[in-house]
């Protein structure tokens, strides 16, 4: 019980972030989201607190010091995406506390209870009732809301979109490096990354499939690595399309895509296919025509190289064709017939049964084991929570981006939307909880931040605080600058007229 070695590092970084620019808080939370299999703090009952969750406390304090309670309120005010996320979280917490008790015994659920008396009952159908998962998932749910609101406060600062983009590029680079280290270390017969896998999770790293190591990076399993990597890939790819730091973003997008292809994860392959469909249907030309032209060139090049590679391998390398067909059969086509596929299908089917047997109310988050984020939302939150969360995603990812924002900010917000889409695709295939991680909600805050007209983005301060010394340099928005300049010009003209120089 207490802080681990990793936790001490997180605690020191948090203290430093409180006394530094907000950008270091953003970099810190995004980077620590990678270590989702590490323990920073151990509570009674052998409950592990992840590094990102521990750092979230410092992240929230920094955001409150920067914007105050009023800024938090603006992030979740009616008409903004944050309002519907707030409604989702309130319903989720209410449902986790009340529904398992109010509907106790009304349906059978697959559940894992940390406090179960008989461990042999784990994974078996049991009557609905309160379990430890209700509390755990409620805490994670509230943490997601805090991360979103804090990031919404930071997004009102000057240069915040560039800070977010650079932070995600940093994390994408670290993730690619972790994937390469994972491959190299297992080839050498050691597990270098085991030092950051200290939480009480089942560690499924190091397995092989078709002669390839199942890449897990800093995560406990390949599916979790695929989920995190694909949102990095989508974000970096779209930044490259817009020409934002093209060498860095292009290299990281290519590296992430290669790791996804080598990961042997069915979730990664389904996610890549689904996201490429989103990319084909997307319209980056609404931001700038250059991105649309570059997207078409990339798609044409990918199709051409794919056809040529398929023809060459089919004609001259028949043994490779057989090996590839067997690999695809194992990882994708026959996945549903495998033991894990049958288990996941059974979990999802029972969760839908729970949804109908509770007449669409849901059983509360944390009450059931599932293998799809969409089923988590539907079975756990019911109709009310599903509608609220769907409105949150809709206003985040589909609301028009206002054209009067700078091109760089619009490009980064558009890239963040693609990161959200890619993450949801993979989570809908293999996500087992409502927790999507800090990076998802950081991207969501940026994705929906430019759907509000510029005149509403920051309220002009009253005249008594227009002096430069009264306004923190970090939170001086473009609106405040635009308000200040005419006032200074008018004041200068008034002084010249009084002195007689303007006569």
Nearest to 403 by CA among 393, 394, 413: 413
Eight-state DSSP code of residue 402: P
Q: DSSP characters for 237-300?
A: HHHHHTTSSHHHHHHHHHHHHHHHHHS--HHHHHHHHHHHHHHHH--GGGT-HHHHHHHHHHHH
pLDDT of res. 465: 42
Residue 113 tokens read as 């209870």
Please identify every stretch of the chain with a pLDDT value under 50, giving residue numbers as ranges: 117-121, 455-503
Per-residue burial over 243-259, b = 16 or more CB atoms within 10 Å of its CB, e = otherwise:
bbbeebbbbbbebbbeb
**Which residues on neighbouring strands pair with residue 125, listed in sequence order?**
110
CA distance 10 to 6: 6
- The number of angstroms, rounded, from the C-alpha of 72 to the middle of its chain's C-alpha atoms is 20
pTM of the model as a whole: 0.83
48: helix, strand or coil: strand
- The number of angstroms, rounded, from the C-alpha of 399 to the middle of its chain's C-alpha atoms is 19
CA distance 409 to 32: 24
Nearest to 155 by CA among 403, 474, 483: 474
Give Dmax over CA atoms of the chain in angstroms: 94
- The number of angstroms, rounded, from the C-alpha of 480 to the middle of its chain's C-alpha atoms is 31
* Residues whose CB falls within 8 Å of the CB of residue 489, separated by 6 or more in sequence, listed in order: none
- Cβ pair 379, 347 in contact under 8 A: no
CA distance 264 to 67: 44
* Residues whose CB falls within 8 Å of the CB of residue 469, separated by 6 or more in sequence, listed in order: none
Strands 2-3 and 41-43: antiparallel
CA distance 288 to 292: 7
* Residues whose CB falls within 8 Å of the CB of residue 302, separated by 6 or more in sequence, listed in order: none
pLDDT of res. 404: 86
Mapping DSSP onto H, E and C, the string for 301-341 reads HHHHHHHHHHHHHHHHCHHHHHHHHHHHHHHHHCHHHCHHH
CA distance 431 to 36: 14
* Interhelix angle 289-316/318-328, nearest 10 degrees: 120
Give the angle 161-158-58 at the CA atoms, nearest 5°: 75
125: helix, strand or coil: strand
CA distance 425 to 427: 6
CA distance 343 to 83: 36
Sequence ranges of the domains in the chain: 2-457, 466-499
- The number of angstroms, rounded, from the C-alpha of 233 to the middle of its chain's C-alpha atoms is 12
CB atoms within 10 A of CB 190: 10
pLDDT of res. 499: 45
Query: What Rg, from alpha-carbon coordinates, does the chain have?
Result: 25
CA distance 86 to 75: 10
């Amino acid at each position: 019980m207490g802080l681990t070695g990793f936790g001490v590092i997180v605690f020191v970084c948090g203290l430093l972030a409180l006394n530094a620019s907000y950008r270091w808080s953003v970099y810190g939370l995004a980077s620590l989201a990678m270590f989702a299999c590490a323990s920073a703090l151990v509570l009674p009952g052998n409950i592990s607190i992840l590094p990102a969750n521990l750092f979230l406390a410092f992240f929230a304090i920094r955001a409150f010091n920067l914007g105050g309670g009023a800024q938090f309120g603006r992030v979740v005010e009616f008409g903004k995406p944050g309002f519907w996320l707030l409604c989702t979280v309130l319903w989720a917490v209410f449902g986790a506390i009340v529904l398992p008790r109010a509907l106790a015994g009304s349906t059978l659920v697959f559940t894992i209870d940390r406090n179960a008396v008989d461990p042999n009952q784990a994974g078996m159908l049991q009557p609905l009732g309160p379990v430890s998962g209700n509390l755990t998932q409620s805490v994670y749910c509230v943490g997601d809301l805090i991360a979103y609101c804090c990031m919404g406060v930071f997004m009102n600062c000057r240069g915040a979109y560039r800070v977010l983009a650079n932070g995600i590029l940093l994390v994408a680079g670290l993730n690619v490096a972790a994937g390469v280290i994972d491959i190299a270390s297992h080839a050498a017969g050691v597990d270098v990354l085991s030092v950051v896998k200290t939480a009480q999770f089942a560690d499924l790293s190091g397995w092989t499939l078709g002669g390839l190591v199942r890449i897990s990076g800093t995560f406990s399993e390949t599916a979790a690595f695929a989920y995190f990597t694909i949102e990095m890939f989508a974000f970096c790819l779209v930044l490259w399309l817009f020409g934002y730091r093209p060498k860095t973003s292009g290299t990281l997008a290519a590296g992430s895509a290669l790791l996804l292809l080598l990961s042997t994860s069915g979730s990664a392959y389904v996610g890549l296919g689904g996201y490429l469909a989103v990319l084909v249907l997307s319209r980056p030309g609404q931001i700038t025509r250059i991105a649309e032209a570059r997207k078409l060139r990339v798609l044409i090049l990918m199709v051409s190289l794919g056809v040529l590679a398929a023809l060459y391998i089919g004609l001259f390398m028949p043994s490779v064709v057989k090996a590839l067909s067997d690999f695809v059969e194992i990882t994708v086509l026959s996945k549903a017939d495998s033991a894990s596929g049958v288990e996941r299908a059974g979990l999802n089917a029972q969760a839908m049964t729970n949804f109908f047997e509770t007449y669409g109310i849901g059983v509360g988050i944390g009450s059931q084991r599932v293998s799809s984020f969409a089923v988590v939302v539907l079975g756990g939150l019911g109709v009310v929570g599903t509608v609220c969360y769907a409105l949150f995603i809709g206003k985040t990812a589909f609301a028009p981006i206002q054209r009067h924002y700078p091109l760089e900010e619009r490009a980064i917000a558009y890239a963040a939307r693609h990161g959200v889409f890619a993450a949801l695709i993979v989570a809908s295939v293999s996500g087992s909880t409502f927790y999507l991680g800090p990076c998802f909600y950081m991207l969501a805050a940026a994705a929906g931040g430019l759907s509000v007209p510029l005149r509403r983005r920051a309220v002009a301060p009253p005249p008594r605080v227009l002096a430069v010394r009264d306004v923190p340099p970090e939170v001086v928005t473009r609106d405040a600058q635009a308000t200040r300049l005419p006032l200074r010009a008018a004041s200068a003209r008034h002084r010249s007229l009084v002195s007689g120089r303007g006569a």
